[in-house]
Structure 1
Amino acid sequence: MRRLAPAALALGLAATPAAAFDIGAMSEDERSMFRDEIRAYLLENPEVLMEAIDVLERRQAAEAVANDKALVSTNMESLVDDGYSHVGGNPDGDVTLIEFVDYRCGYCRKAFPELKQLIEADGDIRVIYKEFPILGEDSITSSRFAIATQLAAGEDAYAEVHDALMTLRANPTEEVLARMADDLGLDGAEIVAKMDDPEVERRIQENHALANRLQISGTPTFVLGDQMLRGYVPLASMQEIVAEVRASEG
């Protein structure tokens, strides 16, 4: 049986009206030949597959960005004004950066000094921390202690403990955390006792519910403007995104 050249096949299909080209109306022999032609063409031109995969990946990435923007828009009030999340940086800043953080997350720790550099150097970024412990009991204990600090000693104390937890190398037992707080000039025993306050658990559960609505399953996750940034973002890239957000909102 003579095979159609791939180019001739493509030209023939392009010239055939959609209504006239009905694969379902083909005979088994015609369908088999059609499949063989496609297979032969792809084997002879494998770069077509890579082009198709590239188009698919770019399309899926664009769809994911659009979906994330819609999720951020729907949940914006809970993100920026839940009534309990710590607000740092410049509270009146023109750009808001929100971080879902787990103190035992290696990438959160990697991002930590770069975020501090970004916030301090810029001077006009409001940062909101969402306690989102997902990596086991040490993560939960650390977040409970941070929230208990906020309840017992206020926002400035929370900021100090947050930074200390991000660099803590020891296992975060209650004894270790109390000692850490004492070293910061806080009352460690009082904060440990506050960890059992139902409000601590409520806040953690609220953050988990919000993360679920945003389809967040990992840390760090950032919300910057209307964008969701899933995972570690280098300082230079974060600076570029901040500039883009300012330009779009200015």
Structure 2
Amino acid sequence: MTFISPRRYRPRLLNALLGAGAMTITATAAPGAGHAADTGSFTPAQRQEIVEIMRNALKTDPTILSDAITALRNNANAAQQNAARSALESHRADLLAPAASDAILGNATGHTTVVEFYDPRCPYCRKVLPDLDRLTREDRDLRIVEKVIPVLGQNSLIASQALVAAFVQGGQPAYFRMQAAIMNDSVTPTTDRMRTLATQSGLNAATLASDMNGPKVTAILQANMELARAIGLDGTPTFVFNARQIIPGAVSYDELKKAIAQSR
């Protein structure tokens, strides 16, 4: 959700209203008195008069402010959408062709690709997991590419490193076993805790702990983060549908299903 703060756009609103005030002064001033307004330069007295006009107008018709805020919000949303479309187009190949290090839910050769950027410590990412499993069971042409990004601090980094290290050690099956362990675990992540979860998941705990800070795991996480930044990601989870549409934040099963259908 994008929220535009009225305070943030107050200078732009003020400038717009000052411009309107300039036209009013130019039209009504006596001959010879309009030079300052014509050049966009006001005397202190003129500026004070404009401010009073603005203040009185806003008191008598509050819709002026709400209409201005709505226009600014619409312009900001349009600019954001244009930037997102441009970013998706620039990184289309990266979003449609899974990397060798990406875990994939569903049909690995499916024609419909959803990329999920997620943090294993994000509660919304945990909540949506059953919906993703359901979608891939119901839609045999769907593949969901998972990209782990540690955006919630040191605990997220440790959990993310363990997930990728599990993939490095045993591929997709090891990754998904470790994912189930981590995403259902309520204990604060530490390297020792990751060793315990690795053992419970049938992995070599010592190897996983060593790989967590190794160059391969680091490179994979860095690549995921760079792609996330490139498309303007600002939260988790974030879903990208066939490199055409981005939906950030928590979404329901029905919303995901609708977006998948629209992207085809």
Q: Which residue of 2 aligns with 1:149?
A: 166
1:188 aligns to 2:202 (yes or no): no
Between 85-94 and 127-136, report the one with greater CA deviation: 85-94
Offset from partner CA, 1:190-240 (integer Å, 9 cap, x none): 323332431111111122222222222432222123112222222222122
- In the alignment, which of 214, 234, 237 is matched to residue 255 of structure 2? 237
**Matched residues in 1 for 2:76 and 2:96: separation?**
28
- The 1:36–1:136 alpha-carbon spacing in structure 2 relative to 1, beyond 3 Å, is closer
**Matched residues in 2 for 1:40 and 1:114: separation?**
53
Between 184-193 and 91-100, report the one with greater CA deviation: 184-193
| TM-score, scaled to structure 1 | 0.79
Q: Which amino acid aligns with 2:71?
A: V
Give the SS at the match of 1:130.
Answer: strand
Contact 2:235–2:248 (Cα < 8 Å) also in 1? yes
- In the alignment, which of 47, 58, 62 is matched to residue 63 of structure 2? 47
Give the SS at the match of 2:202.
Answer: coil
How many residues end up aligned between the 2 structures? 231
Q: Which amino acid aligns with 2:74?
A: R
Q: Which amino acid aligns with 2:128?
A: A
- The 1:42–1:195 alpha-carbon spacing in structure 2 relative to 1, beyond 3 Å, is closer
Give the SS at the match of 2:114.
Answer: strand
**Matched residues in 2 for 1:31 and 1:166: separation?**
59
Between 135-144 and 106-115, report the one with greater CA deviation: 106-115
Q: Which residue of 1 aligns with 2:75?
A: 59
Once the 2 structures are TM-superposed, how far is the Cα of residue 241 of structure 1 from its aligned partner?
Answer: 1.1
Q: Which residue of 1 aligns with 2:117?
A: 100
1:76 aligns to 2:92 (yes or no): yes
Offset from partner CA, 1:36-64 (integer Å, 9 cap, x none): 44443332111222122122212211221
Contact 1:65–1:227 (Cα < 8 Å) also in 2? no
| TM-score, scaled to structure 2 | 0.75
- In the alignment, which of 174, 191, 199 is matched to residue 174 of structure 1? 191
Contact 1:85–1:130 (Cα < 8 Å) also in 2? yes
Once the 2 structures are TM-superposed, how far is the Cα of residue 34 of structure 1 from its aligned partner?
Answer: 5.6
Q: Which runs of 5+ in 1 are unaligned?
A: 1-8
**Matched residues in 2 for 1:194 and 1:30: separation?**
69
Once the 2 structures are TM-superposed, how far is the Cα of residue 103 of structure 1 from its aligned partner?
Answer: 0.8
Once the 2 structures are TM-superposed, how far is the Cα of residue 31 of structure 1 from its aligned partner?
Answer: 6.7
**Matched residues in 2 for 1:163 and 1:63: separation?**
39
Between 209-218 and 35-44, report the one with greater CA deviation: 35-44
Give the SS at the match of 2:254.
Answer: helix
Give the SS at the match of 1:222.
Answer: strand
Q: Which runs of 5+ in 2 are unaligned?
A: 1-19, 28-33
Give the SS at the match of 1:219.
Answer: coil
Once the 2 structures are TM-superposed, how far is the Cα of residue 179 of structure 1 from its aligned partner?
Answer: 2.8
Contact 2:101–2:167 (Cα < 8 Å) also in 1? no
Contact 1:80–1:128 (Cα < 8 Å) also in 2? no
- In the alignment, which of 24, 37, 53 is matched to residue 38 of structure 2? 24
Contact 2:118–2:148 (Cα < 8 Å) also in 1? yes
**Matched residues in 2 for 1:31 and 1:203: separation?**
57
Once the 2 structures are TM-superposed, how far is the Cα of residue 178 of structure 1 from its aligned partner?
Answer: 2.8
